[in-house]
Amino acid sequence: MPRRGPSARAAALRRAQQAKAARDADRLRREKDIEAALADYFQATEQAGRIRAEGRRKADQLLTGADRAAHPPEQSAAAAVRRLRDLVGSAAEVAALCGIATSSVRAMIAESARQPGPAVGTAQRAGSEGPVDAMPVRDLPAPPVSDQPGTAAVNPDSSWPGGGEPPDVTGPGERAGRD
C-alpha cells in the first residue's frame, strides 16, 4: 500500500533530490572539464605566442646580421653599376646588361654617389700596375619607344645593341616604360 501524507511527500522529495544530485554531479563534472579544457587552451596559446615571439626576435637578429654582412657587397654592386653607366653612357643599357629595372640602376647610382670610395674609372685591369685609363663614353641613342604602355617598339633597323627590340628589364611588379 502506497504511503500517503507527509511521509509520502518526504520520500518523494528524497528521491527527487537523489535524482537531481546525480544530474548536478554530472553537470559539475562537465563544468570542471570545460574549465580544464579552457585552461589548456589559454596555456597552449600563450606558450605558442612566446615561442613565436622568441622566433621573431631570433629572426630579426639574424636578418640584422645578414643586412650588415650584405652591405659591403651591395656597395660594390652599386659602384660597379655606376662604373658601367659611366662606360656605356645610359642607365637603360646598364639595366639591360644587368637584367634589372632602370629604376634600380638609378637607385644604385645614387647610392654609390653617397658612399665614399675610389673614384670611378680607377679600377685596375688584370695584370696592370696602374688604374684603367678613362674610357670615352659612347653616345648611344635611347631604345625605341612604343605609344602603347607596357610594350616596346620593334624596329629591325634600331640602333639598340643587337638590333630589334630591347630586352625586358622590368623587375617583379614593375611595368616596362615606367622609368
Percentage of the chain beyond pLDDT 90 is 50
> Which residue has cell 627590340?
165
Which of 94, 125, 133 has its CA nearest to residue 112? Answer: 94
Mean pLDDT score of the chain: 75
Q: What is the pTM of this model?
A: 0.43
* 3-state DSSP helix/strand/coil % of the chain, to nearest 5: 60, 0, 40
Residues 30-86 pLDDT 10s: 999 999 999 999 999 999 999 999 999 999 999 999 999 999 999 999 999 999 999
Domain residues of the chain, as ranges? 10-114
Q: What is the pLDDT of residues 134-152, one digit of tens each?
A: 333 343 344 444 444 444 4
Over residues 100-117, mean pLDDT: 89
